[in-house]
Structure 1
Amino acid sequence: MISLKVPGKLYIIGEYSVLKPGNEAVLVAVDKFINVTVDASKTYEFSSELGHFKWMLSDKLPVFVYDTLTHAKAAVYVAHLYLNYKQVEPKVYSINLSSELTTEENQKYGLGSSGAVVVSVIKGILDYHNVKIKKLDLFKLAVLAQIEINDISSGGELAASIFGGWVHYTRYDLIWVMNHKGKLDEVMTLTWPFLKITRLPKPPFELAICYSGISQSTSQMVGKMQTINQSPWYATFLNKTKLIVTQFKEALVRNDYFTTKYMLEMYRDQLLDLQSKSGIIIESSPFKKMMQIASDYGLPAKTSGAGFGDCGFAIAQNKNQRILVQDAWFKAGLTPLELNVWEYNEQK
C-alpha cells in the first residue's frame, strides 16, 4: 500500500497577471492536505467524500465518462499514459482520497483543492508502480490532466503543491504545449517555453490567513478574464504587475519586510484597478473588513487567488503581530485559519 499527502496552496502575489505566459507569481504551500492511499484491488476503483467510480482499461488506458469527479479521472488517465510511456505494466488497484481543503460543509477554502487532487492521484499511482518521477515532470503531467478536461489554470497551484514551501513560478506557454499534445515524448523531454519553478528561501515573516466565508470558482474567473485580455489597459496591467512581482520576490529573498509590504500594497492597488475596469469583484465586503483591520495594525493585506471569496492574508513581521491581527479578525466576525507554510522533508 502507498500513502501520501499533497499540500494546498495560497497565492501571495501575481494572480491574474500569471495567466499570461512568461508572467510570474509567488505562492506558498500550506499545511492542509489531500491524503491519498493506493492499494491492491480486484477492480480499478476510486473513492472520496465526493463520490466513487470504477473503470476498465482499453489498450492499457482507462476509459471514462467525464461527468463527475473529472479531476480525479483525468489524473488517473494521465498516470496510465505515463505508465505506458515508461513501458510499465499497470497493476489493478483502488485509490482512496480524503481532503482537508474544504470546510465540514464541503465548501472550498480556495487552497487549490482540484490541483492538489490531480497531483496526489498521479503521484499515488506512479508511486504504487515504483515509478520515480522528478517534480518538474510531475508538474507537466498535472498540466496534461487539466488539458484533458479543459480546466486549465495558470499552473501556479500545481507548482506550489508539488514543490512545497515558498515558490516563485513563471507561467508556461500554453499554445506550445497544446501544439505538442499527443506527443508525450516531446512534452516530457523538451523544455517548455517560459516555464520556471524555483523554491525560495523561507523568509522570517509570518502569514496571517483569513477565510471570507464564500467559496469561489477559479475557472469561472479565468473565463471572465478571457473576455478582457484584448483590452489595451490589460496590457498595461500585465506589464506593471510583472515588475511588482519581480521586486516583491527580490525583497522577499533579502528579507526586506518594508519593500515586501510596499510591493504587496502596490499589487493590491493594481487589482483594485483591474476590478474597476473589468467589473470582476475581487474585494468583497469580508475582504474589505479583513484588510482594514490588518491596516489598522500596520500590516499589508490582500486577497489570494481569484478574490471575491476564498482566502485573504496579511504578512506580519513576527508571531505576536500575527496573533494580534487574527484575534482582531475573529472579534470582528471573520474566520482566521490556523495555517502555516509547509515544506517537503526532502526537496528534489
Structure 2
Amino acid sequence: MIAVKTCGKLYWAGEYAILESGQLALIKAIPIYIKAEIAFSENYRIYSDMFDFAVDLTPNPDYSLIQETIALVGDFLAVRGQTLRPFSLEIRGKMEREGKKFGLGSSGSVVVLVIKALLALYDITVDPELLFKLASAVLLKRGDNGSMGDLACIVSEDLILYQSFDRQKVATWLEEESLATVLERDWGFSISQVQPGLECDFLVGWTKQVAVSSQMVQQIKQNIDQNFLSSSKATVSALVEALEQGHAEKIIEQVETASQLLEGLSPDIYTPSLRQLKQASQDLQAVAKSSGAGGGDCGIALSFDEQSTETIKNRWADLGIELLYQERIGHDDKS
C-alpha cells in the first residue's frame, strides 16, 4: 500500500485578477491534508470519504472528477508505453466541517492527490511543473475556467507567486493535439517560491459561511476592468517585494490595498463576518483581509508582534470566527 497526501491553499492577494492571462497572485499552502492509499488489486475500486459508497471506472457523477483524473493519467501512462492496471484507491480527509467547506481548494487537492497516487504506484517521479500541467489538463478538459492558481500552490506546497496562463489556448491544444505534445509545450505560466525576510504570524480565520456561488463569481468577473487588473498586478508585485525585503509597514499597506481592490470590485465579497474578521486587525501591528472568492469561507491575517496576534485571536473568538490555522512565518523558518 502506497500513501500520498496533498495540502490546501489560501490566497493572500491577486484574487479575481488571476483569472486573466498573465496576471499575478500570491498563494500560501496550508498543511491541512487529504490523503490517499493506493495498491494494485484484482478489480478497480475507488472510494472517497466524501461519499458513502465506492465505485469502479464506470462513470459516476459523484466520482467524475476522480475518474476523469484517472483517465488522464491513463493517457499519460500510454505516452510512456505503460498500461493502467486495476488498483484500489482510498481517499480520506475532508476539507470541511459539519458539511461546510473551509474553502482551501479541495477539488484541486483531490486532482493532484489522485495523480500523485497513481504516479507513485507506477514509481514515476515528475517535477512540480509537470504535475501542475497534468492537474490543469484534467480541469481544462472538464471545462473548468478557474485560474489554476490553487493547483500551482498545491503542487509547490509553499508560499508562491503564480503568473497565470492563457487557459483557452491550452484547452484548444488539448482538443487538437496529443497529450505528449501539449505537455512538452511552453504554457506561459510561472510558479516561484516567495521567502519572507522577516518573521510574522500567519492566521486563518473561518467564518463558517459558504463562499460565493459559481454564479456570483461569474457576476463579479463582469466587473473586472483594466484598471482593476493593472492595480492588482502592481499590488501583488509590491507585496512580494515588501515580504522579501522584510518591510512590515509596506506589507500591511499592500495587503490593505489588495483588500480595498476586492471591496471595490463587488460588495458581495465582504460579508458582515468577513468585514468583522478584517476589522479585528485595526489599531494593531497587523493586517487582515478576505481570502479567495469571498462571500464567506476564510480570511487571513498577518501579525508582526505577539500582542497583536493574541488580540486578533481573542477578537475573532468573540466574533465566533474559528482560528483554523496558525503558523510562524519568517527567515528562520525552514519548515
TM-score, normalised via structure 2 length:
0.91
1:70-81 map, 5 Å: 70-81=64-75
Letter in 2 for 1:83: L
Letter in 1 for 2:34: I
Match among 105, 121, 131 for residue 128 of structure 1: 121
State the 1:218 CA deviation: 6.3
8 A contact 1:47–1:53 mirrored in 2 = yes
Corresponding position of 2:226: 235
Q: Distance in 1 between the 2:37 and 2:328 partners?
A: 24
- Backbone CA RMSD of aligned residues: 2.1
8 A contact 1:76–1:121 mirrored in 2 = yes
Corresponding position of 2:327: 340
How many residue pairs were aligned? 327
Q: Distance in 1 between the 2:243 and 2:142 partners?
A: 36
TM-score, normalised via structure 1 length:
0.88
Q: Secondary structure at the match of 1:297?
A: coil
8 A contact 2:135–2:151 mirrored in 1 = yes
State the 1:331 CA deviation: 2.1
State the 1:94 CA deviation: 1.0
Match among 287, 294, 307 for residue 307 of structure 1: 294
1:177-326 map, 5 Å: 177-182=170-175, 183-193=178-188, 195-203=189-197, 204-216=199-211, 219-229=214-224, 234-276=225-267, 281-326=268-313
Q: Secondary structure at the match of 2:75?
A: helix
State the 1:336 CA deviation: 1.6
Corresponding position of 1:55: 56
State the 1:108 CA deviation: 0.6
Q: Go from structure 1 to structure 2 and tell me whether the alpha carbon gap of 1:170 and 1:118 turns closer, same or farther (over 3 Å shift).
A: same
8 A contact 1:29–1:341 mirrored in 2 = no
Letter in 2 for 1:16: Y
Indicate whether 1:165 and 2:158 are aligned: yes
Q: Go from structure 1 to structure 2 and tell me whether the alpha carbon gap of 1:302 and 1:86 turns closer, same or farther (over 3 Å shift).
A: same
Q: Percent identity?
A: 25
State the 1:258 CA deviation: 1.0
Indicate whether 1:89 and 2:83 are aligned: yes
Corresponding position of 2:315: 328
8 A contact 1:166–1:341 mirrored in 2 = no
Q: Distance in 2 between the 1:53 and 1:130 partners?
A: 25
Q: Secondary structure at the match of 2:27?
A: strand
Letter in 2 for 1:273: G
Q: Which runs of 5+ in 2 are unaligned?
A: none
8 A contact 2:74–2:83 mirrored in 1 = no
State the 1:320 CA deviation: 4.5
8 A contact 1:165–1:341 mirrored in 2 = no
Once the two structures are overlaid, the 10-residue window that deviates more, 112-121 or 149-158, is: 149-158
Alpha-carbon displacement from aligned partner over 1:49-106 (angstroms, at most 9, x marks no partner): 12244334xxxxxx635x2233222221111111111112222111111124211x13
Q: Which runs of 5+ in 1 are unaligned?
A: 57-62
Q: Distance in 1 between the 2:100 and 2:317 partners?
A: 19
Corresponding position of 1:59: none
